[in-house]
Amino acid sequence: MSDNQKSGVVGGNYRWVGNNTRRPDGVDKVTGRARYGDDMVLPGMLHMRMLRSPHAHARILSIDTSDAEAMKGVKAVVTHKDVPDHPPAKPPFGPAVSDFHDLSRNIMAREKVLYDGHAVAAVAATTESIAKRAVRKIKVEYEILPHVLDPYEAAQAGAPILHEHQFTLGLEPKPKEPSNLFRTLGGEQGNLEQGFENSDLVIEREFSSQPVHQGYIEPLACVASSSEDGAVELWTSTQGHFVARTLLSRLLNLDMSKFRVTASEIGGGFGGKTTIYHEPAAILLSMKTGRPVRSVMTRGEVLRATGPTVGSVCRIKIGAKKDGTLVAADAEIWYQAGAFKGGPVARATDSFFSPYKIPNARTACHDVCVNRPKAAAYRAPGAPMATWAAEAVINELATEFGLDPVEMRLKNAVKEGDTSLMGTKHGRIGCIEVLEAAKNHPHYNAPLKKNQGRGFALGYWLHGGGLSSASANLLDDGTLTLALGTPDIGGSRSSMRAMAAEELGIDIELVKPAVVDTASLGYNHLTAGSRTTYATGMAVVNATREIIEKLCSLAAFKWEISVEEVRWDSGEALPADKYAGKLKPFSLKQLAKMAPGTVGPIAGHSEINAKGAGASFCAQISDIEIDPETGGTSPVRHTVILDAGRAISPDYVEGQMQGGAVQGIGWALNEEYIYDDNGRLLNTGFLDYRMPVASDVPMIDTLIVEVPNPKHPYGVRGVGEPPLVPAPAAVAIAVENAIGRRMGDLPMSPPKVLAAMDAQKLAAE
């Protein structure tokens, strides 16, 4: 079996932070008590089912719901007519696009259906069975239109147009014809032409990848309940219930305060549960009927109609000196945003070359609409495909020059003070430490067996900070409750609890964290962008420090000294300065007991906009064995090396590293969306959407590097996303090295591998 290790430069001796602790949600999850989206039942609840488009692109001529509405047990039907319309958003657009014109059409098709699975109507009925039958009685007349699935083709003139009102942004003069190309984001520095001229070798390649789904095991599920006074309660499986509240209130033109959204326990998200899908229909049906409405998507609906990540077509060119110095790099990528604009193009442009200092560089990332479900975030959205292209070419350059791939990267690695192409000025970062750790890892130079290949790749991710709130309440018996507003998707309650216990200096078991509803706490952005332990963690530290201040004040009051003369250490208020050692310390428990009779309840809260989350780096080494006769692939060894800043809970950090790596293995080898000629999705279940099963993968070795983030009280960097960034690249490069031929197209499924091997044999003859 493999091992998991830690190495790094972190100091600090903590009781809870940095040690493995039991997760507070663990017992509920191993016993089946934890309540997920689909586990909520309300009295009188109706069941919702949706009618979805069988066409990739068609004009809706009419929708007749009368037969469905006439059925016994059917309580209401909604279509786009029930959804408020919104004008298209106007520029300028930020890196993330928010457009309620699009959102209202994605949750319920209006003029046209734009992809197979696009929602057209929703029915609420007394039983699921009646709802299912009613959906089949809705008659929709369609005028089928030509469709387009490939992002490069969709961006060309003459392609079928999805949105007649969409003209490519930023072109002068303004184009006369609408386009599926929404915009191009990118960056440029230096003199590209000169850079390539000054290079000893320039390699240019093309890459492509297919959309892959987040693949969370819990299908989307919600229960909406609206009352006659206009209040709406919503229970839903989401990565951000505060964000859901904002989207729903704006979309439905309802006061935000009337919503109370509760995040259920969430059965995986990986970015896929960062927006709303069926919730508006459930709310509208609840409003129409006055009864709670539950919706649970089928797996087929999840795959057909909720965001996979973008597929891509990429062209890249990198030039370097013989000694390995990178001189010039140029990349262009087309992302299939799906039916509506908003592919992660800003992240792509940040991902191509950020680990390296390249004086002359340019990126151009195209956000293209195609007849596929609107893409959603997927763990480091936009990064893995760009990283793959750049890393593959850098490895090839190293091979051509006879250089060690890690040495070549070390020669160009970014460090504190460097600025990325997107203008991020780096603080203390661990790029070099991660590369050194990879070079020294026994896996890096371990011998390979016959038919095996090794891939190495480095990934970069700039973490999010943003809005978080936390509230801590000290109870009379000296225990603490912690109210959080970021859904716990990977163990964040455990990390929050560790930081709170560390601050207060009390036993971790005395702290009980909970994710609370939107009425109970200040605003919180999504659990996404690897921001939670960083930003919400900071809010938790602030909130507990406020409690400490109040406890010190209480002690000062009791001792009749000034609060400046009290300090907090290891769970006790201690007299300081001239009183040091002269008064008996008060424990937290004693102070908590005194509070109600003196100063009253003691609580702390914090609402922040966290900045400076900074970047982290992740390197992966992958060994793949190929069956030379069938093209079958087996991952035989895989190592993940990550700068975590500080691992608050090392075993959960390892879990993130291992999970991300295995998602990358799936992405590189077998996962893909397969459409027929009519643009209908063919693989709508887990049988043919081939995510790795337990027997497909080896143990995943991990090495946590700790280069603390100076902006966080405990040095935290996000750990959710970086483990996926270089994973498909490492695996794909391993496959290519095993067969001795470049393929450039993901997934590297057995038929493609066998075809490449046959082509290689032909070329050798």
Partner 1 sequence: MAGLRYEAPNTVDAAIGLLSEVAGAKVLAGGTDLLVQIREEMIDPDLIVDIKRIDETRRIEITPDYVKIGAAMTGAELGENEELAAMWPGVIEAVELIGSWQVQGRATIGGNLCNASPAADSVPAIIASGAKIVVAGPQGVREIPAEEFPKAPGRTALEANEFVVSLVLPVPPKRSGDAYLRFIPRTEMDIAVVGAGVSVSLNEDGTCASARVALGAVAPTALLVKDAIDALLGSKLDDVTLEKLDKAARDACNPIDDKRGTIEYRTKVAGVLVRRTAAIAWERAQKQNG
Partner 2 sequence: MLGRGHKNKMAKHSVTTTINGDETEFNCDTHNTLMDVLRSELHMTGTKNGCGTGDCGACTVIMNGRSVNSCLVLGVEVDGAEIETVEGMAQGGTLHPLQQKFLDHAALQCGICTPGIITQAKAFLEKNPDPTETELRFGLAGNLCRCTGYDKIIRAVLDAAAEMRANK
From residue 104, give the alpha-carbon distance in Å to each of 250, 341, 611: 10, 13, 32
Which residue matches tokens 């994710």?
515
* Under rule CB under 8 A, residue 25 binds partner 2: yes
N-term to C-term CA, the chain: 41
61 or 694: whose CB is closer to partner 1? 694
* Residue of the chain from 692, 718, 722, 728 that contacts partner 1 (CB under 8 A): 692
Tell whether residue 755 is a contact of partner 1 (CB under 8 A). yes
In 3D space, the residue among 561, 533, 557 whose CA is nearest the CA of residue 648 turns out to be 533
CB neighbours (10 Å) of residue 394? Answer: 26
Per-residue contact flags (x/-) with partner 2 for residues 275 to 304, judged by CB under 8 A: ---------------------x-xx-----
Query: Which amino acid is it at 508?
Result: I
Give the one entry of partner 2, partner 1, none that residue 218 binds, where binding means its C-beta sits below a cut-off of 5 to 8 angstroms depending on kind. Answer: partner 2
Candidate list 54, 190, 268, 300; residue touching partner 1; CB under 8 A:
300
Please pick, from the candidates 11, 13, 30, 762, the single residue that binds partner 2 as defined by CB under 8 A: 30
Nearest distance in Å: CB 63, partner 2 = 21
236/670 with CB nearer partner 1:
670
Q: Among 36, 100, 750, 760, which residue interacts with partner 1 (rule: CB under 8 A)?
A: 750
Rule CB under 8 A: say whether 167 interacts with partner 2: no
Q: What is the token pair recorded at 560?
A: 């009749």
Q: Which of the stretches 149-157, 264-272, 395-403, 686-694 binds partner 1 when contact is defined by CB under 8 A?
A: 686-694
Q: Tell me how far, at minimum, the Cβ of 28 lies from partner 2, in Å.
A: 8
CA distance 275 to 291: 24
Q: How far is the CB of 694 from partner 1 (least distance, A)?
A: 8
Q: Which H, E and C letters describe 665-712, residue by residue?
A: HHHHHCCCCCECCCCCECCCCCCCCCCCCHHHCCCEEEEEEECCCCCC
Q: Does 754 bind partner 1 (CB under 8 A)?
A: yes
Q: Which listed residue (404, 416, 546, 696) binds partner 1 by CB under 8 A?
A: 696
| Cβ at position 620, least distance to partner 2 in Å | 12
- Cβ(106)–Cβ(374) below 8 Å: yes
C-alpha angle 459-463-468 in degrees, rounded to nearest 5: 160
Place of tokens 């390995």: 324
> Does residue 699 belong to the site contacting partner 1 (CB under 8 A)?
no
Q: What are the CA-CA distances from residue 696 to residues 375, 663, 667, 691, 731 (Å)?
A: 27, 12, 13, 9, 13
Span near partner 2 by CB under 8 A; candidates 11-19, 200-208, 214-222, 617-625: 214-222
- Taking CB under 8 A as the criterion, the residue among 54, 268, 585, 632 binding partner 2 is 268
User: Three-class SS of residue 576?
Assistant: coil
CB of 150 to partner 1, least distance (A): 18
Q: Which does 662 bind (CB under 5 to 8 A by kind): partner 2, partner 1, none?
A: partner 2
H or E element that contains 259: strand 259-263
Indicate which single residue of 54, 258, 690, 760 sits in contact with partner 1 (rule: CB under 8 A).
690
Shortest reach from residue 372's CB to partner 2, in Å: 21
Distance of CA 28 to the CA centre of its chain: 25
Tokens of 753: 């591998």
- Rule CB under 8 A: say whether 127 interacts with partner 2: yes
Task: Report the 10 Å Cβ neighbour count for 379.
Answer: 28
Site string for partner 1, 258-297 (x = CB under 8 A): ----------------------------------------
Q: Which does 219 bind (CB under 5 to 8 A by kind): partner 1, partner 2, none?
A: partner 2
Contact pattern from residue 633 through residue 652 relative to partner 2, giving x for each residue in contact according to CB under 8 A and a dash for the rest: ----------------x-xx
Helix, strand, coil in percent for the chain, rounding step 5: 30, 25, 45
Question: CB-wise, 68 or 472, nearer to partner 1?
Answer: 68
Out of partner 2, partner 1, none, which partner does residue 507 contact, by CB within 5 to 8 A per kind?
none
Taking the C-alpha atoms of residue 308 and residue 691, their distance in angstroms, rounded to an integer, is 13
Using CA atoms, how far apart are residues 6 and 65, in angstroms rounded to an integer? 61
Q: Does the protein bind partner 1 through residue 686 (CB under 8 A)?
A: yes
Number of chain residues interacting with partner 1 (CB under 8 A):
25
**Is position 449 an interface residue for partner 2 (rule: CB under 8 A)?**
no
Nearest Cα neighbor of 53 from 137, 105, 104, 112 is: 112
* 653 is a contact residue toward partner 1 (CB under 8 A): no
Residues in CB range of 99: below 8 A, 6 or more apart: 88, 89, 340, 341, 342
List Cα–Cα distances, 757 to 752, 761, 762, in angstroms: 9, 6, 9
- Using CB under 8 A as the binding rule, whether residue 685 contacts partner 2 is answered as yes
Sheet harboring 312-320: ordered strands across? 181-189, 360-369, 326-338, 312-320, 201-209
For 455, the enclosing helix (H) or strand (E) is strand 452-462
Q: Which is nearer to partner 2, 213 or 341 (CB)?
A: 213
Q: Does 636 bind partner 1 (CB under 8 A)?
A: no
From the list partner 2, partner 1, none, partner contacted by residue 632 (C-beta under 5 to 8 A by kind): partner 1
Among 95, 688, 699, 740, binds partner 1 (CB under 8 A): 688
> Which residues are bridge partners to 314 per DSSP?
207, 333
Residue placing its CB nearer to partner 1 in the complex, 98 or 678: 678
What single letter denotes the amino acid at residue 657? Answer: M
Binding site for partner 1 (CB under 8 A): 132, 300, 629-632, 634, 669-670, 674, 682-683, 686-688, 690, 692-693, 695-696, 749-751, 754-755
Binding site for partner 2 (CB under 8 A): 1-2, 20, 22-23, 25-36, 38-39, 41, 127-130, 132-133, 136, 214-219, 265-270, 296, 298-299, 489-491, 649, 651-652, 654-655, 658-663, 685-687, 691-695, 697, 699-700
